[in-house]
Structure 1
Amino acid sequence: MLRKSLMTSAGVLIASAACNAAGAQSLDYDVMTELFGEAVTNSATGKPQRASEVPAAMVIITQEDIQRLPERDIPGILRHYAGVDMARWTAGAQDVGIRGYNQPLSPRLLVLIDGRQVYLDHFGYTAWRTLPVQLSEIQQIELIKGPQSALYGFNAVSGVVNIITKDPLKHDTSFNVTANTTFEGTDEVNAVLSYNMNDKIGIRLSAGVGQEKEYGYNNTYLNDADNFFATYSYDAAEDIQLSGTMNFQFAPNTTGMIELSHAHVNQMDMQPNFFTANARYRLFSARGRVESDTDWGLISASLYRNTGTLTSVGSSFAVADPEYIQPSKNTVTVFQLQDLFQVGTSNTFRIGFEWRSNVLESSPDPRNGDTQYKVLSLSGMWDRAITPTLRSTVAVRVDRLDLERTGTVDDIYWFTAADFDREITEPSYNLGLVWNKGEMGIFRANASRGVQTPSLSEFGLTQLTGSPTAVSILDAGNPLIKPTIVQNYEIGWDRALKTLADMRLSVFYQKSEDLKSFLSYHPTLNPPDAPEVSTRFDNVGESSAWGIELDLSGDAPFNLDWGINYTYEKVNDDLVGVFGVFDRPYYTPGQVVRNRYTGFEDSTPNHKVNARVNWTKDNWHLGVFGNYVDEVTYPDRWLISNGRTYDTDVSAYLALSFRADYRVNDHLALNVIGRNVNFGNDGVRTNRATREESSIWAGISADF
């Protein structure tokens, strides 16, 4: 029979937890974690469940974990976990990849804050420094590996990072101020106020401001006179984030939320062609959500709107007037409706509907028209307890995308308006089994299909850059480009090795078809009477990867705890050049020349190791951390005139970091963080363009 409601009072939560039913957004993480002795989540299937029951490779990073790591941003936190590739290109620009395939402006990882997308649709990536969230207001960070399109839609093809913030209705009134500084010219201050007015209204306000000195540059091919950095570079990455959330309890079974946020960031970005750009982000979001526990299940509705402008002046525009570059404006509007309900005690179902509108204006001349699409999505999930020890999960989703372009298509563009009148319909799925064998551990098996839809820029932004008297460059999309399809298969095993350690092992295989690439300059794409040099996107073939992730952690005598994880991954590309030109040796024997910027076989490290040791006693904590990353090879453009790229090697490196904390009293804590302390002032080359330097942070945190 249909269960009448999924009530979220403490008593019903205890009863519901046995059969895995609770309010998805109403989940009290603190109560449930204490009750079960492990983290809880609803990010893997859309329903609340213990971490041990999740049918996917998932890591839950708690607030306690965040406070122990030697990091001041979320990409830095993520780099300490198995299967994560983190590239810190500049002081402000980072990219995070899951299980390889990381690249500048990485498009494969979907990032959310409390379920709201902060992934930028205009180009398809996450600008991490723009996230309107402070570390002290985070409840937990949920990292889900592998395609998750059946729950989250397109672009969640390598995984999902869902940042869960603290619910002010479920926490006492508090005020936290944190300040950090370095001798190198890096400073940040942030504050979080959580105000529980009564049992009906809770408010959280947060603000952060900071700057971080830019890294040293490592551009071997440009001399000082031609070096873009000498003319257009920022001295530091600068950011301001503001956020406000109000949670309501309308009735015993109905809650609501209103959220506003803003980010103002200036930083150096790394572009897909491995040149940097001055980037100015101005982002705003507004969101409302209501959730009600009814006779028909837990029904939730959410509406949000993300609006952003990006002004980007790249190194290829060194001869242009930067004032001529106008911002690109992207507006995303999303409505979501979901019902989560039970049938009997063994079956939980979720049905969902989503409508999305995504618009990108052309720049600098809006008369070039807007590229836009609308998406209708239907999804469903069935979680079944087959036996007391065996569970299955089936999730499916279908997305229908309708592409269009308004305005006049310029004569120099090689596509017509009719090419933009296009429909794409793609299914995705996640299948999972979890088998709890008691002392033998927990076994997982899953298969999934993810869909990475082209971004608006890849579809058709036409951006003429440069001044009328300078060299013009046409950054153009391709309305005929295909989505990338990712198939993933995985098995996992979690087991406690007696009293020695906890082990987590995952083995996976995935295949990506119709990979997309940003193409280098090519002066002959346009009609003969069009003088513009052009860049564009296209599909360049397929790639497969397999890998192993092993994580061990445990406690030791003398108040010590430790952890070590190892990742092996092997990528095999089957890619071709475009316009009929294949990769080939050129000039230097054995050197590969490409006319595209995609190639993951060499740019994905085969081996990564992360290790940590923590000591805690009374008011003191000391942690030592190591991160080893194997050697990689990045494409590196050398001759702009022939539109080809060349390879640049980056040696393997070991980064050593530490963190020391002392809690003076219940209200005041001090810390010193050393990040990459063995890199020195000259820095170590961890990527193609810059040298990452060591930094020592001194911080103070006050709670009231």
Structure 2
Amino acid sequence: MFRKTLKTTAGVLFASAMCSGAQAQTLNYDVMSELFGEPVTNSATGKPQRASEVPASMVIITQDDIQRLPERDLPGILRHYAGVDMVRWTAGAQDVGIRGYNQPLSPRLLVLVDGRQVYLDHFGYTAWRTLPVQLDEIQQIELIRGPQSALYGFNAVSGVVNIITKNPLQQPTGFDVSVNTDFNGTDEVGAVFSFNRNDRVALRLSAGVGQEKETDYTEQYETTDDFFSTISYDAAEDIQLAGSVYFQFDAKTTGLMEFTHSHVNQLDMQPNFYTADARYRLSSARVRLERDTDWGLISASLYQNSGKLTSVGSSFAVADPEFIVPSENTVTVFQLQNLFTVGTKNTFRLSGEYRNNTLASSPDPRNGDTQYDVFSVSAMWDRAITPNLRSTAAVRLDNLELERTGEVDDIYWFTAEDFDRTITEVSYNVGLVWNAGERGLFRANASRGVQTPSLSEFGLTQLTGDPDNPSILDAGNPLLEPTIVQNYELGWDRALGSLADMRLGVFYQSSEDLKTFLSYHATLLPPEAPFASTRFENVGESSAWGMELELQGDAPFDLQWGLNYTYQSVNDDLVGITIERDYGEGLQTQRNRYTGFEESTPNHKVNARLHWERDDLRLGVFANYVDEVTYPDRYVIVNGTAPDSDISAYLALSFRADYQVNEDVNLSIVGRNVNFGSDGVRTNRATREESSFWVGLRANF
């Protein structure tokens, strides 16, 4: 805990970390965490740092934390932490936002597994169930709040979730298996096999198979609108496979080869609150090489993510199947980095990146592919100004070159030449960390993040209805501008005597050139368009400010407790449009709406936990409170009825009990959303999270 490590100065800790020398590229998290007295990371600056010294608002969730929580998936784990908004739309579809702005297919959060992007570029979101990682193989989850584009890379505008897996070179040979079931249609099996040969070559294989019963949303949905007419899945189904080979060539050189595949069928929630049957087929391959040289720690990484997504929603009800083809997206990334020190006080990181991102013509196959190449350079300087005062400054330059191959059907607004465009943007992160001894540790930082439009936002071409006589046209817009997020924040960590550790943060951020989703764009009508049409547009600005307070401590009778509170306030300034349409009862005025972040972001959130542990038994109870929100409908008809959806504040209660049968076997019983007198909680405009109970078995061999 913070009060146990406060007496050790930042300079001493940094010197201790550097004693690892050539092994910095294979950071042993367990050893370094024991040395520092708290979790450590090397993600922000490249060198080992304890979590409290990172020049950003970071929370590190350890494997022990994961095993204490009443959750089976990553979004569920994240919802227990300050600054996080999590919405579970269906059994398979969840969205996570940081500091507000959450919505279906949330585009503002960058998610990485061991530094490899798993964020889907074709539409700009994370499909959490597709992540090819089992909870048992996670070393830690690094949750970073606020824009981090300069430190972490492409599109990290609201924050980053970096999932670090265990290094089998630092683990004994073993086999872990876990099983969860609720005996009512939800079953999961995960397995992780690690093989270590003489600490020179190590292998890790992991696999997960599961299904989660779908709720009957047609009965749960509390309006007369038939938003769920396209449901065909009885359960979300997933298979994840991953294999990694780690090499320790010599004392100064390491390597990695990695392959993953995910096969997922689930019900997605789209931004217009219509569901879609989604079928994900995602694969990745990566190689990485690192060497400690006289010029610094040099690392090179090459990976490719490829995937197919077939998504069929109610808008395709009468479409010709010939013109419903998968979205095929390929992302190829090469990264080169050099981390070096000058003297004992200065650490530098110089990086370069090349990225090619291609989306095949979809879902209308008659148009060309959309693609862009991005060339990026970045630099970071971390300096020990005094033994207790550190500064970090990072800057990144991205140059994006957009193009479209082939011809574009003349029914669309844009030609292939309109896609010949270059976008150049700068992002930065600057921060100060001051260890003031018994008065605590203070952080101040400022950052600029850049959210580039997704390939679909640039180049979607979609016709609904008979291709020879379509009724609706949806399209991308190659003239879109990136969304720019500017963030300022202050942080204070302090031990409150022997009672608790406190972490307090306040922030202000602004977003310029926010982008619509199709469902919120002003409908275009003849003569501006050949028929009813929508396209992506920049629609205005938004600002937000808030506070995150986290407390944790020990109590009598072997109790441990934690409490965090989040306040956030969003102020939108979005551009709308008013048109007149005849719905059979004369002309009515319709004002089209965009995503209502101001109303759909909860102002107050509280998470609480209480743990008790003795001998082989561990018990935990949890509470999650979320303030009331309002989801704006897709449009408001002044003379008709299309009301917004008000979601009342709710309190969700959960528990977990673990019994350690022996050194290798653990049994657990978990209940989530077990509110007394009700079957779960209504958490969003479309669905209700039902109460769920399951039992789990974990075994190590």
Quick check: TM above 0.5? yes
Flag the 1:523–1:17 CA change in 2: closer, same or farther, 3 A.
closer
* Residue 362 of structure 1, CA deviation: 1.2
Q: Aligned partners of 2:308, 2:404: CA distance in 1, in Å?
A: 19
Flag the 1:14–1:492 CA change in 2: closer, same or farther, 3 A.
closer
Tell me what 2:308 maps to: 309
**Mean alpha-carbon deviation: is it higher for 80-89 or for 674-683?**
674-683
1:120 aligns with 2:125: no
Tell me what 1:9 maps to: none
Q: Aligned partners of 1:313, 1:17: CA distance in 2, in Å?
A: 52
**Corresponding letter in the other structure for 1:125:** Y
- Aligned pairs for 1:259-408 within 5 A: 259-320=258-319, 324-408=323-407
* Residue 471 of structure 1, CA deviation: 5.1
Tell me what 2:576 maps to: 577
1:48 aligns with 2:41: no
Q: Aligned partners of 1:437, 1:180: CA distance in 2, in Å?
A: 46
Tell me what 1:8 maps to: none
3-state SS of 1:602 partner: helix
1:72 aligns with 2:72: yes
Residues 652 and 681, structure 2, Cα contact 8 Å, conserved in 1: no
Q: Aligned partners of 2:151, 2:22: CA distance in 1, in Å?
A: 18
Residues 446 and 488, structure 2, Cα contact 8 Å, conserved in 1: yes
Match of 2:667 among 660, 666, 670: 670
Tell me what 2:616 maps to: 619
Flag the 1:71–1:336 CA change in 2: closer, same or farther, 3 A.
same
**Mean alpha-carbon deviation: is it higher for 426-435 or for 21-30?**
21-30
Residues 90 and 215, structure 1, Cα contact 8 Å, conserved in 2: yes
**Mean alpha-carbon deviation: is it higher for 277-286 or for 314-323?**
314-323
Residues 320 and 467, structure 2, Cα contact 8 Å, conserved in 1: no
Deviations 1:164-192 (A, max 9, x none): 00000011011011010013311100100
* Residue 594 of structure 1, CA deviation: 4.8
3-state SS of 1:157 partner: coil
Residues 543 and 572, structure 2, Cα contact 8 Å, conserved in 1: yes
Tell me what 1:207 maps to: 207
Tell me what 1:7 maps to: none
* Residue 236 of structure 1, CA deviation: 0.9
* Residue 271 of structure 1, CA deviation: 0.8
**Corresponding letter in the other structure for 1:618:** D
Q: Aligned partners of 2:590, 2:158: CA distance in 1, in Å?
A: 28
Q: Aligned partners of 1:354, 1:680: CA distance in 2, in Å?
A: 55
* Residue 465 of structure 1, CA deviation: 4.1
Tell me what 1:143 maps to: 143
Q: Aligned partners of 1:475, 1:463: CA distance in 2, in Å?
A: 5
Tell me what 1:250 maps to: 249
* Residue 235 of structure 1, CA deviation: 1.1
Q: Aligned partners of 1:549, 1:690: CA distance in 2, in Å?
A: 28
- Aligned pairs for 1:542-581 within 5 A: 542-578=541-577
3-state SS of 1:232 partner: coil
**Corresponding letter in the other structure for 2:628:** E
Q: Aligned partners of 2:122, 2:476: CA distance in 1, in Å?
A: 12
Tell me what 2:684 maps to: 687
Residues 673 and 681, structure 2, Cα contact 8 Å, conserved in 1: no
Flag the 1:685–1:321 CA change in 2: closer, same or farther, 3 A.
farther
* Residue 13 of structure 1, CA deviation: 10
1:450 aligns with 2:449: yes
Tell me what 1:661 maps to: 658
3-state SS of 1:17 partner: helix
Flag the 1:452–1:529 CA change in 2: closer, same or farther, 3 A.
closer
Residues 173 and 196, structure 1, Cα contact 8 Å, conserved in 2: yes
- Count matched residues: 680
Q: Aligned partners of 2:538, 2:523: CA distance in 1, in Å?
A: 19
- Aligned pairs for 1:593-672 within 5 A: 594-637=591-634, 646-672=643-669
Flag the 1:14–1:629 CA change in 2: closer, same or farther, 3 A.
closer
1:509 aligns with 2:520: no
**Corresponding letter in the other structure for 1:620:** L
Deviations 1:550-607 (A, max 9, x none): 00100111111000000001111111115x769xxxx9xxxx9752331210000000
Q: Aligned partners of 2:418, 2:592: CA distance in 1, in Å?
A: 25
Q: Aligned partners of 2:377, 2:61: CA distance in 1, in Å?
A: 30
Q: Aligned partners of 2:570, 2:483: CA distance in 1, in Å?
A: 16
Gaps of 5+ in 1: 1-11
3-state SS of 2:516 partner: strand
* Residue 535 of structure 1, CA deviation: 2.5
Q: Aligned partners of 1:232, 1:470: CA distance in 2, in Å?
A: 26
Q: Aligned partners of 2:399, 2:110: CA distance in 1, in Å?
A: 19
Residues 321 and 466, structure 1, Cα contact 8 Å, conserved in 2: yes
Flag the 1:293–1:32 CA change in 2: closer, same or farther, 3 A.
same
- Aligned pairs for 1:19-38 within 5 A: 25-38=25-38
Tell me what 1:39 maps to: 39
Tell me what 2:180 maps to: 180
Gaps of 5+ in 2: 1-11
Q: Aligned partners of 2:41, 2:52: CA distance in 1, in Å?
A: 10
Residues 596 and 644, structure 1, Cα contact 8 Å, conserved in 2: no
Flag the 1:606–1:136 CA change in 2: closer, same or farther, 3 A.
same
Flag the 1:143–1:42 CA change in 2: closer, same or farther, 3 A.
same
Q: Aligned partners of 1:430, 1:250: CA distance in 2, in Å?
A: 35
1:496 aligns with 2:495: yes
Deviations 1:50-79 (A, max 9, x none): 112111110000000000000000000000
Tell me what 1:699 maps to: 696
3-state SS of 2:633 partner: strand
Q: Aligned partners of 1:339, 1:204: CA distance in 2, in Å?
A: 27
Residues 549 and 565, structure 2, Cα contact 8 Å, conserved in 1: yes
Residues 594 and 645, structure 1, Cα contact 8 Å, conserved in 2: no
Residues 230 and 277, structure 2, Cα contact 8 Å, conserved in 1: no
**Corresponding letter in the other structure for 1:667:** D
**Corresponding letter in the other structure for 2:358:** V
* Residue 135 of structure 1, CA deviation: 0.2
Residues 230 and 314, structure 2, Cα contact 8 Å, conserved in 1: no
Residues 463 and 470, structure 2, Cα contact 8 Å, conserved in 1: no
Tell me what 1:191 maps to: 191
Q: Aligned partners of 1:522, 1:411: CA distance in 2, in Å?
A: 21
Q: Aligned partners of 1:679, 1:154: CA distance in 2, in Å?
A: 44
3-state SS of 2:572 partner: strand
**Corresponding letter in the other structure for 1:161:** V
Q: Aligned partners of 1:681, 1:284: CA distance in 2, in Å?
A: 41
3-state SS of 2:632 partner: strand
3-state SS of 2:34 partner: helix
Deviations 1:447-468 (A, max 9, x none): 0000000000111121334444
Q: CA RMSD in A?
A: 2.5
3-state SS of 2:96 partner: strand
Tell me what 2:8 maps to: none
Q: Aligned partners of 1:507, 1:529: CA distance in 2, in Å?
A: 46
Q: Aligned partners of 1:465, 1:265: CA distance in 2, in Å?
A: 25
Flag the 1:420–1:642 CA change in 2: closer, same or farther, 3 A.
farther
Tell me what 2:9 maps to: none
Q: Aligned partners of 1:165, 1:593: CA distance in 2, in Å?
A: 51
Flag the 1:630–1:310 CA change in 2: closer, same or farther, 3 A.
same
Q: Aligned partners of 1:108, 1:286: CA distance in 2, in Å?
A: 25
* Residue 690 of structure 1, CA deviation: 1.1
Residues 324 and 364, structure 2, Cα contact 8 Å, conserved in 1: no
* Residue 658 of structure 1, CA deviation: 0.3
**Identical pairs, percent:** 76
**Corresponding letter in the other structure for 1:110:** L
Q: Aligned partners of 2:105, 2:662: CA distance in 1, in Å?
A: 43
Residues 319 and 471, structure 1, Cα contact 8 Å, conserved in 2: no
Q: Aligned partners of 2:50, 2:590: CA distance in 1, in Å?
A: 49
* Residue 643 of structure 1, CA deviation: 13
Q: Aligned partners of 1:693, 1:470: CA distance in 2, in Å?
A: 43
Residues 579 and 590, structure 2, Cα contact 8 Å, conserved in 1: no
* Residue 640 of structure 1, CA deviation: 11
Q: Aligned partners of 1:529, 1:228: CA distance in 2, in Å?
A: 27
3-state SS of 1:621 partner: strand
